[in-house]
Amino acid sequence: MKKIASKTSTIVCNDGSWKFLADVIENSNFSKLFIIVDPHTEKHCLPFFYKKIILTNAKIITIPAGEQYKTIETCLYVWNQLSQLGADRQSLVINLGGGVVTDLGGFVASTFQRGISFVNIPTSLLAMVDASVGGKNGVDLGVLKNQIGVIKEPIAVIIDTSFLATLPKNHIISGIAEIIKHGLISSELYLNESWIFTIENPMLCEKLVWDSVQIKHRIVTEDPAEKGLRKMLNYGHTLGHAIESFCLEDSKKPTLLHGEAVAIGLLLETYISSELLGFPKAKLLHISEKITSLFPKVHFNSKDIKEIIKLLIFDKKNTHGIIQFVLLEDIGTPKTNCIVSNELIEKAFKFYEKCIAK
């Protein structure tokens, strides 16, 4: 069994993970059990869950699917459901779903009656390698990503890569963006492996997912409150989140999955890294070619870019009104708290346009 244990949380993957969860539930004397799902995971993942673990008394709470429902309004619904169904401080919430379910479900559990225990069972690639690990829980504020939240670890994260077979291809591709990010900030070897990720190769799939979990866990353990080192996990996300928010707000633009927006952010911020920190040009061109071959291409005009730049002020790394980027001197050598001019951001978008025009 692949396992990472800390004082407050344990992450387990594949073999033995379901027995571990069964033992946690059996030995913890929880008063009541609640499973948060969305319609997709209720249909495609809950039956598999019940084959793996016998729970006769768990209550199901279903929330709408999609980033647009990652809101305080959805939290109010779940808080009310928990209250009406008799949840107390000894209850357990099990979040069975992708990043929206684990982010929102963790936030709900962390705040209900000042905090009850929860378990994350990520069912999407994105949630397995990113959202379910590290204790970040929260919701969006309008189109602004993850503005409301807390940092609290789940008591356990159960990763079973079998769930990936339930995903449409675009959700797999979305998750690959976070694996690529982990490669860019940590290791050229891992980055090169990330380009060939496929669920058709179960051994490679499990290896890359677990390696990604270990990269993130190592960083989070060293800086749980995101005061310094943990900021590197936001590589590609400063512009990626702004792009994601802009596309949610602008009906003329396609709504992007989180990883699709982050992939554009990774390309843009790698270009900026090459201009400001001397990131090698040959590697920039190789990374750009790989990203544009994997992810959807989106065109941004000058007006779009100005609106995206305006959204950067809401990035959570900012301080005293100053927008701060994570950039790379080279693969595996990130630098935090970088200041980037609007002119350079606009140049990065022009570079992106050239890349997708090829």
Domain with CATH 3.40.50.1970 in the chain: 2-167
The residues, ordered by sequence, that sit 6+ positions from 317 with a Cβ below 8 Å of its Cβ are: 231, 234, 238, 324, 325, 326, 336, 337
The DSSP-derived string for 306-317 is HHHHHHGGG-TT
The residues, ordered by sequence, that sit 6+ positions from 38 with a Cβ below 8 Å of its Cβ are: 62, 63, 64, 65, 66, 97, 98, 100, 101
| Tokens at 287, concatenated | 């990374």
Tell the burial category of 187 from Cβ atoms under 10 Å away from its Cβ (0-12, 13-18, 19+): middle
> Can you tell me whether residue 145 is helix, strand or coil?
strand
Residue with tokens 């705040």: 111
The residues, ordered by sequence, that sit 6+ positions from 294 with a Cβ below 8 Å of its Cβ are: 173, 176, 195, 263
Domain with CATH 1.20.1090.10 in the chain: 170-357
Instruction: Say how far apart CA 248 and CA 161 lie, in whole Å.
Output: 29
pLDDT tens, per residue, the chain with 358 residues: 799 998 889 999 999 999 999 999 999 999 999 999 999 999 999 999 999 998 888 999 999 999 999 999 999 999 999 999 999 999 999 999 999 999 999 999 999 999 999 999 999 999 999 877 888 999 999 988 889 999 999 999 999 999 999 999 999 999 999 999 999 999 999 999 999 999 999 999 999 999 999 999 999 888 887 777 889 999 999 999 999 999 989 888 999 999 999 999 999 999 999 999 999 999 999 999 999 999 999 999 999 999 999 999 988 778 778 889 999 999 999 999 999 999 999 999 999 999 999 7
Instruction: Name the fold adopted by 2-167.
Output: Rossmann fold (3.40.50)
Instruction: Name the fold adopted by 170-357.
Output: Dehydroquinate synthase-like, alpha domain (1.20.1090)
Instruction: Say how far apart CA 226 and CA 317 lie, in whole Å.
Output: 9
Strands 59-62 and 10-13: unpaired
Helix axes 281-294, 169-186, angle to 10 degrees: 170
Element (H, E) at 126: helix 125-126
Strands 325-330 and 2-5: unpaired
Strands 136-141 and 144-151: antiparallel
